[in-house]
């Protein structure tokens, strides 16, 4: 059972979340609620929760302020946020779970179940990446957390050469030759990376357009990446890919 705290400065949100947790989450024991950074920190120190449902913007500070004061963080966190699309993307890149206000009961159940299964690994690194990604819109400076069963990898998006699907897993191939296998589908990463110059050239491959060395039309068509790896190109993707090359080169 996950011993859980709710920290939010809006009384109706705390009440609604508590009701949802009691009705939908049989794996949760609900502790008391708190309404801000000061009261939330006190509740954490006294209750020693397994999970905290944490609002970001509160009257006496932010959820980030609370977590900095609570370090080391030995509990799991699901952020509650009303942030815009860009900020939500920062959460995805940082591999930190979140729920959008108004909270959907099904999303709550999924997030709580993920929290129950997750092994807490250097959460401070994920928070730092989230903070950096929220502050910058610079593509070159954008970072992504790739979490394996044993390690949390902090990777610059620009250092990703390409991604390859492995059923429900994804292999990341980096510019320095490193390979990282993570337990998320390629489709999930396609949605995250497509705005940063990545293109799905094949059902099994997502490539960084800036990491392509050349396009060979022989043997059905394939890309040669800067690391000399070859990536196949689906026939139906060829014309679109060439159009994107034209945009990049300005021809």
- The owner of tokens 């952020």 is 79
**Interstrand relation of 61-62 and 152-156 (parallel, antiparallel or unpaired):** unpaired
Please determine, for residue 96, whether its predicted confidence score (pLDDT) is greater than 60: yes
Domain shared by 41 and 123, yes or no: yes
171/200 same-domain check: yes
pTM, two decimals, is: 0.71
**128 and 185 assigned to the same domain:** no
Do 6 and 128 have their domain in common?
yes
Asked if 144 contacts 93 with a C-beta cutoff of 8 angstroms, the reply is yes
Q: Which residue has the tokens 């980030």?
A: 64
The helix (run of H) or strand (run of E) holding residue 12 is helix 11-24
Give the CATH number of the domain where residue 161 resides: 2.40.50.1020
| Residue 129 sits in the same domain as residue 57 | yes
Determine the structural domain holding residue 28 and report its residue range.
2-133
Q: Do 74 and 32 belong together in one domain?
A: yes
User: Is the domain of 180 the same as that of 229?
Assistant: yes
In the listed set 133, 168, 201, which residue is the last one of a domain according to the structure? 133
The domain boundary, picked from 107, 133, 159, lies at 133
Tell me, yes or no, whether 13 and 120 share the same domain.
yes
List Cβ neighbours of 172 (8 Å cut-off, separation of 6 or more): 146, 155, 160, 163, 179, 180, 181, 182
Specify whether the CB–CB gap between 143 and 149 falls below 8 A. Answer: no
pLDDT at residue 25, as a whole number:
95
Q: Which of 133, 165, 194 lies at the terminal end of a domain, its last residue?
A: 133
Residues 6+ apart with CB under 8 A from 24: 105, 108, 109
28-34, strands of its sheet edge to edge: 28-34, 2-7, 51-55, 76-81, 98-100
What's the pLDDT tens digit per position in 181-231? 998 899 999 988 988 889 999 999 999 999 999 999 887 789 999 999 999
Looking at residue 88, which CATH number applies to its domain?
A: 3.40.50.2300
Instruction: Convert the pLDDT of each residue in 49-83 to its tens digit.
Output: 999 999 988 999 989 899 989 988 889 899 998 87
- How much of the chain exceeds pLDDT 70, in percent? 93
**Are residues 22 and 125 located together in one domain of the fold?**
yes
DSSP label of 177? S
Task: Check pLDDT > 60 for residue 251.
Answer: no
Residues 106 and 221 in one domain: no
Q: How many domains does the chain have?
A: 2
- Checking if the pLDDT of 15 tops 80, the result is yes
Q: Which of 251, 229, 107 is nearest to 177 (CA)?
A: 229
The reply to whether 12 and 122 lie within a common domain is yes
- Statement to judge: residues 105 and 188 lie in one domain: no
Does the N-terminal peptide bond of residue 214 adopt cis geometry, omega within 30 degrees of 0? no
Between residues 125 and 2, the one the model is more confident about: 2
Phi, psi of 114 (to 5 degrees): -65, -40
CA atoms lying within 13 Å on the CB side of residue 123 = 19
């Amino acid at each position: 059972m996950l011993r859980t705290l709710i920290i939010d400065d809006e009384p109706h949100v705390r009440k609604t979340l508590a009701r949802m947790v009691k009705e939908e989450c049989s794996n949760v024991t609900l502790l008391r609620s708190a309404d801000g950074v000061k009261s939330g920190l006190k509740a954490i120190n006294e209750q020693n929760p397994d999970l905290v449902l944490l609002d970001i913007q509160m009257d006496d500070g932010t959820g980030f302020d609370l977590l900095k004061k609570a370090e080391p963080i030995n509990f799991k966190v699901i952020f509650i946020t009303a942030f815009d699309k860009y900020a939500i993307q920062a959460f995805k890149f940082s591999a930190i779970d979140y729920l959008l206000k108004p909270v959907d009961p099904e999303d709550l159940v999924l997030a709580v179940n993920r929290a129950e299964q997750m092994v807490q690994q250097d959460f401070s690194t994920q928070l730092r990446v989230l903070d950096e990604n929220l502050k910058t819109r610079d593509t070159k400076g954008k970072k992504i957390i790739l979490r394996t069963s044993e390690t949390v990898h902090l990777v610059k998006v620009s250092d990703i050469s390409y991604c390859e699907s492995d059923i429900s897993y994804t292999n990341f191939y980096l510019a320095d030759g490193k390979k990282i296998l993570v337990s998320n589908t390629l489709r999930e990463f396609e949605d995250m990376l497509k705005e940063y110059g990545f293109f799905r050239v094949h059902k099994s491959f997502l490539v960084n357009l800036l990491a392509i060395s050349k396009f060979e039309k022989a043997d059905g068509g394939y890309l040669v990446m800067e690391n000399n790896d070859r990536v196949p190109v689906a026939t139906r993707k060829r014309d679109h890919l060439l159009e994107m090359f034209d945009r990049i080169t300005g021809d």
